[in-house]
Every structure is written in C-alpha cells, then in structure tokens.
Amino acid sequence: MAAIGFQFSPDYGYVFLVFVAIFVLHMWQMINVSKMRKKFKVDYPAVYSDKHPLFNCYQRVHQNTLENMPFAITALLLAGFRHPRLAAAFGSVWVVGRVIFSLGYYSGNPKQRVPGAYMTYLAQFLLIGCVVSGAAGFLGWW
C-alpha cells in the first residue's frame, strides 16, 4: 500500500473562510435565540415554550442548523481537498440557504423556511458529490 502525499492548494483558504462564515451564522442564530428567550421569558433549562410559538421558531432554526452542521462542515472540509473552489462555493450556498431558512422561520410561519431548506440540502448533496469525487481520485478510480 502506497502512502498518499498531500499538499493543500492555496485555494483551500476559501474553504477556511466558509468555515468562518458557518461559525458567524451559528453565533447569529444563537444570539437571536437568546434575545427571544429574554423577550418571552423562557427560562433555562426549557428548550421550547408552550406559550410562545415564535420563540419555538427561533429555537428550531438554531436546533436544525446544529443538526445539519456536522455533516455540512465535514463535507466542506473533505470536499475541499480535491475541489477547494467548488467546496467553498457550495459551502457558501449552504450558508446563504441557512440565512434564508432562518429569516423564513423567524417570520413565525414555518412554511417560509422551505426555500432556504431546499437550498441548504442541495448544497449538502453537491458537497457530498465533491467528497465522492475526491475519494474516487484518491483511490485512483479517476
């Protein structure tokens, strides 16, 4: 078995920047949940409110993003090995999709989240496609 030597492309810096954008997105959502928690007086450790559906919308945005972040970040970082610019582009689409998802959900009408959700999941599938391409390249399949 031969070892694979790897050198990062300078374009991998774009992947790092998208990673930072994901962190900023997470902080923005967390701050928004904290503001709504104070506004509606939803004390810890309560995760959701029986009285304030709008708070629940804010909480679900953050929770859903946390559920999706491990896959998105992993796919972003792995896809960037072989396709750093594509990974950064698809990762950026993921972040923009999450913002659209957030703003839609923050409206209080959960159905408004759907366009952002579609955008997010499309970006995740494209990132996974780049990961598969990278795996195939490392394995010498193409």
Of the pLDDT bands very low, low, confident and very high (cuts 50, 70, 90), residue 102 is: very high
- Whether the pLDDT of residue 13 is over 70: the answer is yes
Residue 14, number of CB atoms within 10 A of its CB: 19
Q: What is the pTM of this model?
A: 0.93
SS3 for 76? helix
pLDDT digits (tens, 9 = 90+) for 18-34: 999 999 999 999 999 99
- Whether the pLDDT of residue 4 is over 70: the answer is no
- Whether the pLDDT of residue 94 is over 80: the answer is yes
Q: CA 52 to CA 40: how far, in whole Å?
A: 7
Retrieve residue 142's tokens.
Answer: 């193409």
pLDDT digits (tens, 9 = 90+) for 33-86: 999 999 999 999 999 999 999 999 999 999 999 999 999 999 999 999 999 999
In 3D space, the residue among 77, 62, 76 whose CA is nearest the CA of residue 126 turns out to be: 76
**What is the average pLDDT score of the chain?**
95
